[in-house]
A and B are shown apart, each in its own frame.
Chain A
Amino acid sequence: MSENGSATLLGVEHLKLYFPIKQGVIFDREVARVHAVDDVTFALRKGETLGLVGESGCGKTTLSRALMRLIDVTEGVIRFRGDDITKASRKRMQPLRREMQMVFQDPFASLNPRKRVGQIVGTPLRLHGAERSEVEPKVHELLKRVGLAPEHSNRYPHEFSGGQRQRIGVARALALEPKLIVLDEPVSALDVSVQAQIINLLDDLQDDFGLTYMFVAHDLSVVRHVSDRIAVMYLGKLMEVSPAEELYTKPIHPYTEALLGAVPVPDPRENRARKRVAVTGEPPNPIDPPSGCVFHPRCPHATDVCREVEPPLVRYANGHLAACHHPQQVSSEEIRAAERSDQSPLSAGEELPQAS
């Protein structure tokens, strides 16, 4: 499938999001910019779950909010079903909001504590012009669908546990029968046994309603269990985009390798047997990102070319993309067959990885 294929629900092209840092006594001068999202291109296909992973500060939350038009982008284009919505007015966005919804990370902060559950879940319906008499039965149906009881609609959020609150958040997102739900760390605030319940619920809902998910998380093991494809972000850029299983069996980018190696396995024997590649250092400051490949200061394979030239996203077999001059776990043939992807950042060099 090409990146502009008909099955694309949402696409972003060369998306940049910079936050200005201002200083000055009378007039604010822009002295620097935080490069939160730096030239990211990808497409979300209808019915798939795209996992977006990265460490804190890599821009994954900023990116997901920009997709929802909750933050204005600095440069680039966002298309929903092929229509450019980058600069769409509030009025034009209004009908589209029915189709794209969001579930937030913190189930304690994302529900109004002074509203009853019925009001919380019913608000999107009312805002989009549902009749008063339609709202209540619909709310009850939604609550049942997410595993709560209709009686719960008269209670307040504080009467529920974290997992139940997250179910309320999911019911609210489902109210308008959206096509796309952006899930920003939907299970990271929950206990493991409850996490599994919510993941199973999201999985069922996707099958029943044909939903498309963008699943943002920092936890690589959770993402593995929900995604069809996974994008790895680091310092505002895409490092690797891969079919979900392949990312774990054949990580091409050294950063992905490092991330995978850093997760301890809940199995003592395998943990002892595993070789660990520990990355040193911490993510650099996004105000002044490193030259060339942004990962080079922490990368064990970095050479001169990494310091000077930003690697383009290179397309390998199975639509597996990676932005690295020294790709791992790929054979010389695969490297020779690889080609530059048009999802590459505009600032990236032309150099393709060399087969040894």
Chain B
Amino acid sequence: MAERLLTVENLEVSFRTEEGVVQAVDGVSFELEEGEVLAVVGESGSGKSVTAMTLMGLTRSPNAYFGGSARYGDQDLVTATDEELRRVRGSEIAMIFQDPMTSLNPVMRVGDQIIEQIQEHTDAADVEAREQSIELLERVGIPRAIDRVDSYPFEFSGGMRQRVMIALALSCDPSILIADEPTTALDVTIQAQILERLRELRAQTNAAVILVTHDLGVVADIADRIAVMYAGRIVEQGTLDEIFYDPQHPYTWGLLGSITRVDRPRPQRLPAIAGLPPSLVDRPEGCHFRPRCPHEFAKCTEAPPLQSRAEDGSAHTDRCWLTAEEKRSRREVRPGEIGLGEKEGAEVA
């Protein structure tokens, strides 16, 4: 049994804005074990990035409100002081950001940026830290690392910068790596190289990874478990195969159905999810997906809990009032395709 690293319970994040209170994350709970890759998927505005950033204390601001807990060891990351968080950040939990073009310091040599982080958390001497940074750059696949360590970020391509970001994240041997859309800004051939590298590093270090992404191809490639988020809530959670081959929540059906696949011929029509994601200031009562869902019924105005529908009470959970039997019959499963069905009169996105 792998060791449990992180327990998030009922995490809530909201921001007071001029338009009202934005409930970005609403009662999110999940667990993370050593060595596993948990993919958090969802569309823009679903709260996936806010969840990830909150674990690092990066959403703290005067207008933010937090609730629930995120226990890492004997610390609660939600209530920890900035000073306590600083010790965890970078050394225990590290983050890889989406945009490698803007998340490195442009006026600092990449080696110095890595050295700075190493020396912040250990008492390595200058020479030692520099050697370590060269070794890290080699590990993430940067050729001639010994020369490149003194280059500035602008001298690297996008893929190489993302490797520098990964090297930076790995510099203190973190036990949790949070990767927020790590390959979205990259070309496919480079994306494949980066994913391969992440896979190798994970095998070597046994770090747990929280992968935030909207790309289900990347998820299928690397994840062990998936949490699907919609309008601030996890609507379904399960293992990779459970989510892909036995999805329970209608939103997950819609998401899986609307992806264009490179390995399948063109269907007559792409099954789209009708309508728009709700505004986070004024979310629909009950199930947030209700206005877009063709299968809604009276009970849906009551918020459904995240619970296991499977007879064996497995960890595959979802928030939908339909019975397992109803789901099985309504889910349109064509060969290699899962559809949601049509909803009449929904607004267009």
Q: Tell me the A residues contacting B by CB distance below 8 Å.
A: 55-56, 147-148, 161-164, 167, 191-197, 199-200, 203, 218-222, 224-226, 244-245, 248, 258-271, 276, 278-280, 282-283
Per a CB cutoff under 8 Å, which of B158, B188, B260, B263 touches A259?
B188
**Cβ-closest chain A residue relative to B257:** A196
Contacts of B160 in A (CB 8 A): 282
Q: Are A267 and B348 in contact (CB under 8 A)?
A: no
Contacts of B196 in A (CB 8 A): 278
A265 to B191, CA, bound (A): 13
A219 to B244, CA, bound (A): 22
Q: Are A245 and B159 in contact (CB under 8 A)?
A: no
Per a CB cutoff under 8 Å, which of B220, B254, B269, B271 touches A265?
B220
CB distance from B126 to the nearest CB of A (A): 32
Asked, given contacts A192-B43, A196-B270, A248-B262, whether A266 binds B157 with beta carbons under 8 Å apart, the answer is: no
Q: Besides A224-B261, A264-B221, 11 other CB < 8 A contacts? A: A56-B187, A192-B258, A219-B260, A224-B260, A224-B265, A225-B270, A226-B266, A259-B188, A262-B188, A266-B244, A271-B220
Per a CB cutoff under 8 Å, which of B256, B262, B348 touches A263?
B262
Q: Are A278 and B262 in contact (CB under 8 A)?
A: no
A265 to B260, CA, bound (A): 10
Task: Count B-side interface residues using an 8 Å CB cutoff.
Answer: 50
Q: Are A265 and B261 in contact (CB under 8 A)?
A: yes
Query: Can you identify 10 A-B contacts, CB atoms within 8 angstroms?
Result: A55-B187, A193-B349, A196-B272, A221-B260, A224-B260, A225-B267, A259-B188, A266-B261, A268-B241, A278-B192
Q: Are B263 and A282 in contact (CB under 8 A)?
A: no
Contacts of B270 in A (CB 8 A): 196, 199-200, 225
Contacts of B198 in A (CB 8 A): none
Asked, given contacts A220-B188, A262-B192, A265-B220, whether A192 binds B262 with beta carbons under 8 Å apart, the answer is: no
Q: Are B187 and A258 in contact (CB under 8 A)?
A: no
Q: Are A193 and B189 in contact (CB under 8 A)?
A: no
Asked, given contacts A191-B43, A218-B187, A282-B157, whether A260 binds B262 with beta carbons under 8 Å apart, the answer is: yes
CB distance from A74 to the nearest CB of B (A): 25
Q: Are A192 and B259 in contact (CB under 8 A)?
A: yes
Asked, given contacts A193-B255, A200-B270, A265-B220, whether A259 binds B261 with beta carbons under 8 Å apart, the answer is: no
Q: Are B348 and A266 in contact (CB under 8 A)?
A: no
CB distance from A287 to the nearest CB of B (A): 14
Per a CB cutoff under 8 Å, which of B43, B192, B219, B272 touches A266?
B219
Q: Are A266 and B216 in contact (CB under 8 A)?
A: yes
For B245-285 the 0/1 string (1 means CB < 8 A from A) is: 10000000011101111110111011111101100000000
Q: Are B214 and A221 in contact (CB under 8 A)?
A: no
Q: Are B266 and A282 in contact (CB under 8 A)?
A: no
Contacts of B260 in A (CB 8 A): 195-196, 199, 219, 221-222, 224-225
Residue among A147, A167, A193, A197 with the most chain B CB within 10 A? Answer: A193
Per a CB cutoff under 8 Å, which of A191, A248, A259, A282 touches B44?
A191
Shortest 8 CB-CB distances between A and B: which pairs?
A196-B272, A163-B349, A264-B217, A193-B273, A264-B221, A221-B262, A262-B192, A266-B216
**Cβ-closest chain A residue relative to B256:** A266
B193 at the interface (CB under 8 A from A): yes
Contacts of A191 in B (CB 8 A): 43-44, 214
CB distance from A169 to the nearest CB of B (A): 14
Q: Are B221 and A163 in contact (CB under 8 A)?
A: no
A335 to B47, CA, bound (A): 54
Contacts of A260 in B (CB 8 A): 262
Q: Are B189 and A258 in contact (CB under 8 A)?
A: yes
Asked, given contacts A192-B258, A224-B260, A268-B240, whether A200 binds B217 with beta carbons under 8 Å apart, the answer is: no
B22 at the interface (CB under 8 A from A): no
CB distance from A299 to the nearest CB of B (A): 12
Contacts of A163 in B (CB 8 A): 276, 348-349
Contacts of B276 in A (CB 8 A): 161, 163-164
Contacts of A200 in B (CB 8 A): 269-270, 272
**Cβ-closest chain A residue relative to B193:** A278
A245 to B264, CA, bound (A): 9
Q: Are B191 and A266 in contact (CB under 8 A)?
A: no
Q: Are A266 and B220 in contact (CB under 8 A)?
A: yes
B73 at the interface (CB under 8 A from A): no
Contacts of B258 in A (CB 8 A): 192-193, 195-196
Contacts of A164 in B (CB 8 A): 276, 348-349
Contacts of B43 in A (CB 8 A): 191-194
Q: Are B220 and A264 in contact (CB under 8 A)?
A: yes
For B323-349 the 0/1 string (1 means CB < 8 A from A) is: 000000000000010000000000011
Contacts of B192 in A (CB 8 A): 261-262, 264, 276, 278-279
Q: Are A267 and B262 in contact (CB under 8 A)?
A: no
For B49-93 the 0/1 string (1 means CB < 8 A from A) is: 000000000000000000000000000000000000000000000
Contacts of A276 in B (CB 8 A): 192
